[in-house]
Structure 1
Amino acid sequence: MSTIHIPAILLAIPRNPVTALGLPLALGLFSGAGTAKVVRSSWYETLAVPPGRPPRQVFPIVWPALYLSMGYASHLAVKALDRTVSPSARDDLLLGIALYYAQLSMNFVWSPLFFNFKQIGLALVDSVLLAGTTYYMTKLFDGATNSQTTYFLAPYCAWLTFATYLNGGIWWLNNSKPKRD
């Protein structure tokens, strides 16, 4: 018997492919809604950035694709949970699903922390925790879904690693600069 309890609603959302895809996409769009104005501000335009930062036009293309991928992975994980009889696979899936919602929450707060509140250091802590949680979630889902979820989560893990590098570089290069609007 598993010690992890997931509320029924949190299992029902990814059980339906439309809501599985829609939840992370809606949260991502809502979280990032205010960033367009900030990326055109003097604060953002004067930040020193590490090498390799893509043009800002890349982000609104990459993130929706990643949200859809993570949503579909959650759908596959819950479907695997519904049909598994293995107690260890069930435990891995339940913990993975709990971590899925944890990483969604961390993902949701990153944009406001970085762009709206200009808390680059706190955003970096969030990014490190987000990446670690997502890597562990991916590992837990992998065996229990015969690696199906990993195909959808590996690009997200890679992007989170890159995003953490960017956030860390921006923090390092700007941590002594005064915050401006």
Structure 2
Amino acid sequence: MTTYIPSITLPGFLFEQPAAAILFPVALGTGVGFSVRPSETQKTYLALKQPPYRPPPQVFGPVWTLLYASMGYSAYRAWTTGMSSLNPVTVELAKQGATLYTVQLALNLIWMPLFFKFKRPIEATVDIVALTGITGWLTYVWGQVDEIAGWALVPYLGWLTFATYLSFGTGYLNDWNFHDKERPIATKPKNTKYVDEKAK
């Protein structure tokens, strides 16, 4: 059972207006991305051994921007639909979801610094497993409030599942230690963007 905890939940005005609801997670995600220095992040990403099906680093920025926007839209839909309902159960579910949403957003924002800046793959993987679980529960809770709000979180939940695989796979392939696996990328091998692959 989820509980609404006002003291750790984002204020209502961040849910009430569509522009604020959508732009807030986009701005936070972008800010965190730039705070860990994209060039250093890309260097770390390319230098580590990667599991199969990992996308090129250029994919992550656009994908996350879209996912943050859909997350914010879901928050707007669920909050405004729930808080205007005459059903007290629906109101309570909307408020409980707001707490879950705040917690998942915090977990989302700390993953990148854990993984890339502090190079802590174990902690980052624990974080993203918790994030995926909470987001799954949030999708269920807000889906009861507003069907569109629930469906708007599905791409995000799917991407988190894939990102969990990447986080675990990268940690495992690098013995859960990123510090001694990095090496300078002087030139890119032919036909590949990844230093752990040999040019054919």
**TM over 0.5, yes or no?**
yes
Aligned counterparts, 1:103-118, within 5 A: 103-118=104-119
CA contact (8 A) 1:35 1:115 kept: no
How far apart are residue 144 of structure 1 and its match?
Answer: 1.1
**Structure-2 change in CA distance of 1:171 and 1:73 (3 Å):** same
Task: Pick the aligned partner of 2:38 from 29, 36, 39.
Answer: 36
**Structure-2 change in CA distance of 1:9 and 1:150 (3 Å):** closer
In the alignment, the residues of structure 2 paired with residue 159 and residue 44 of structure 1 have an alpha-carbon distance, to the nearest angstrom, of 18
Q: Secondary structure at the match of 2:119?
A: coil
CA contact (8 A) 2:6 2:99 kept: yes
**Structure-2 change in CA distance of 1:40 and 1:64 (3 Å):** closer
Aligned counterparts, 1:59-78, within 5 A: 59-78=60-79
In the alignment, the residues of structure 2 paired with residue 164 and residue 9 of structure 1 have an alpha-carbon distance, to the nearest angstrom, of 26
Aligned counterparts, 1:42-57, within 5 A: 43-57=44-58
In the alignment, the residues of structure 2 paired with residue 79 and residue 44 of structure 1 have an alpha-carbon distance, to the nearest angstrom, of 39
Structure 2: state its 5+ residue gaps: 183-200
Give the corresponding residue for 1:128: 129
* Amino acid across the alignment from 1:99: L
Q: Which has the larger radius of gyration?
A: 2
Structure 1: state its 5+ residue gaps: none
Q: Secondary structure at the match of 1:32?
A: helix
Give the corresponding residue for 2:141: 140
Give the corresponding residue for 2:97: 96
In the alignment, the residues of structure 2 paired with residue 36 and residue 124 of structure 1 have an alpha-carbon distance, to the nearest angstrom, of 20
**Structure-2 change in CA distance of 1:14 and 1:177 (3 Å):** closer
* Amino acid across the alignment from 1:62: V
Q: After superposition, what is the alpha-carbon deviation per residue over 1:41-83, rounded to whole angstroms, capped at 9, x for unaligned?
A: 3x43331111010111110110000000000100001111221
Give the corresponding residue for 1:80: 81
In the alignment, the residues of structure 2 paired with residue 3 and residue 53 of structure 1 have an alpha-carbon distance, to the nearest angstrom, of 36
**Structure-2 change in CA distance of 1:62 and 1:46 (3 Å):** same
Q: TM-score, normalized by length of structure 1? A: 0.91
CA contact (8 A) 1:35 1:111 kept: no
In the alignment, the residues of structure 2 paired with residue 20 and residue 177 of structure 1 have an alpha-carbon distance, to the nearest angstrom, of 37
CA contact (8 A) 1:100 1:134 kept: yes
- Number of aligned pairs? 178
Give the corresponding residue for 2:160: 160
**Structure-2 change in CA distance of 1:178 and 1:49 (3 Å):** closer
C-alpha RMSD over aligned residues: 2.0
Q: Secondary structure at the match of 1:67?
A: helix
What percentage of aligned pairs have identical amino acids? 35
How far apart are residue 178 of structure 1 and its match?
Answer: 5.6
* Amino acid across the alignment from 2:68: Y
CA contact (8 A) 1:110 1:127 kept: yes
In the alignment, the residues of structure 2 paired with residue 27 and residue 178 of structure 1 have an alpha-carbon distance, to the nearest angstrom, of 26
Structure 1 runs of 4+ with >3 Å offset = none
Q: TM-score, normalized by length of structure 2? A: 0.82
How far apart are residue 101 of structure 1 and its match?
Answer: 0.5
In the alignment, the residues of structure 2 paired with residue 168 and residue 62 of structure 1 have an alpha-carbon distance, to the nearest angstrom, of 20
